[in-house]
Structure 1
Amino acid sequence: MLRSHLRLTLFALGLLVGIQVPGFIDAYGNHVEARRLEAQQGLAGFQDTAGRFFEGNLNALVEHYRASDDPVIQSDARSVAALVERARLLDREWRIMQGPWYARAWHVLIGADQSLRGQVWSSYRFQVMLAPEAIAWGLSCALLLAWIAESIFVLIRRTLFPQRRRRQRRTAQVVSSSKRPE
C-alpha cells in the first residue's frame, strides 16, 4: 500500500513539475525578446552613426573608436563593443526561441545563456496552466518520473534480493503442477 501511495505521489510530483515547463520556456522567450528590444534601442544611435560612416558596420565603428587618440572615445569603444556583443547574444537567443517546441525546450534546458536563465528563474512564478502543451508536458514528465522510480526500485530489489525472485518462480511452478489433473 505504501508503494502505491509513493507511486501516486511521484506521479503527481512529475505532473506538477511537467506543467511548469511550457510556462518557463515562454517566460524565457519573453525575457529574451524584451532584453533584445532594449539592446536594439540602446544601440540605435550607434547604428545610425555606423550607417552614415561605416556602411552600417558596428564593428568598424568600434575599431574607429579604439583607434582614436582621445581616451574618452577609447573608453566608449569598450562600452559600445559590450553593447554590440550583448545585442548579438540576445538576437541569437531570440532566433533560437522562434524555432519548434522541442528546439526551444532543449535550448532552455541545455544551451541557454546561464545569466538569462537565472534571471528568468528568479522572477518565475509557478502556475498551473491548462493549455494542451502544458498537459502533455505534465503527463510526459509524470510518466517518465514514475517509470524511472519504478525501474530504480526493481533494480535495487533484484540486486539486494535475487533469491526471492527464484523462490517465487519455484512456488508458482509447484502450485501450477499441483493443480494439474492426474
Structure 2
Amino acid sequence: MLHRYFVIALALLAVLVGVQLPNFITQYEQRLDAQYTEAMVYYKEYQRIADTYLNGDMQALIEMHEQSDNPVFKDEAVPIRELVRRVELYRFEQQQLNQGYLQKIWFVAWQANPELRDNTWRMYSFNVPLTRQAVFTGVIAALLVVLLFDGCVGGCKFAYRRWRRRHSTAPQH
C-alpha cells in the first residue's frame, strides 16, 4: 500500500517537473530574442557602414579595422568580430527553435548556447502553464518515471526471488 502512495507521489512530482519544460523553453526563447534584439541595435550600424563603403561585406569591414594603422580602429575589430559572431549564433539558435517541439527540447538540452541556457535557468520563473504541450510533457514524464520505477522495483524483486530460490535449494554443508 505504501508503495502505491510513493508511486503516485513520484508521478505527481514528474508531472510538475514535466510541465516546466515548455515553460523553460519559452523563457529561453524570450532570453534569446532579447539578446538578439540588443545585438542587432549595434550590428545594424556596422552593417550600414559596410553597405555604404564595402558592398555590405562585414568581413571586409572587420579586416579593414584589423589592418588599420590607427590603434583605435585596430582594437575595434575585436568587438565587431564578436558582435558578428553573436548575431550569427543567435540567428542559428532562432532557426533551431523554429522546429517541432521535440526538436526544440533536444536543441535546448544538448546544443543550445550554454551561457544563455545557464542564465535562463538562473533567472527561471516557475509556474504551471496549462498549455497542450505542458500537459502532454507532464503526462509523458509521469508515465516514464512510473514505468521506470516499477520496472526497477519489479526487476529487483525478480532478482531477489531468484537469488533466494537458488540459495534456499542449495545443499547445506
TM over 0.5: yes
Compared with structure 1, are the counterparts of its residues 5 and 165 closer, same or farther at alpha carbon in structure 2 (3 Å cutoff)? farther
Q: Does 1:99 align with 2:99?
A: yes
Deviation at 1:157, TM superposition (A): 2.0
Letter aligned with residue 147 of structure 1? L
Question: How many residues get paired?
Answer: 166
The percentage of counterpart residues that share the same residue type is: 30
Compared with structure 1, are the counterparts of its residues 67 and 141 closer, same or farther at alpha carbon in structure 2 (3 Å cutoff)? same
- 1:154 aligned partner: 154
Give 5+ residue unaligned stretches, structure 2: 167-173
Q: Indicate the SS of the match to 1:130.
A: coil
- 1:172 aligned partner: none
Which is greater in Rg? 1
- 1:82 aligned partner: 82
> Normalising by the residue count of structure 1, what TM-score does the alignment of the two structures yield?
0.87
For residues 13-57 of structure 1, give each alpha carbon's deviation from its aligned partner in whole angstroms, at most 9, with x where no partner exists: 110001101111111111111111111111121111111111111
- 2:134 aligned partner: 134
Letter aligned with residue 118 of structure 1? D
- 1:32 aligned partner: 32
Equivalent-residue separation in structure 2 for 1:97 and 1:22 (angstroms): 12
Equivalent-residue separation in structure 2 for 1:15 and 1:113 (angstroms): 27
- 1:174 aligned partner: none
Deviates more, 1:138-147 or 1:153-162: 153-162
- 1:109 aligned partner: 109
- 1:3 aligned partner: 3
Equivalent-residue separation in structure 2 for 1:150 and 1:12 (angstroms): 15
Q: Indicate the SS of the match to 2:138.
A: helix
Give 5+ residue unaligned stretches, structure 1: 167-182
Contact kept, 8 Å, 1:36 with 1:94, in 2: the verdict is no
Task: Provide the aligned C-alpha RMSD in A.
Answer: 1.5
> Normalising by the residue count of structure 2, what TM-score does the alignment of the two structures yield?
0.91
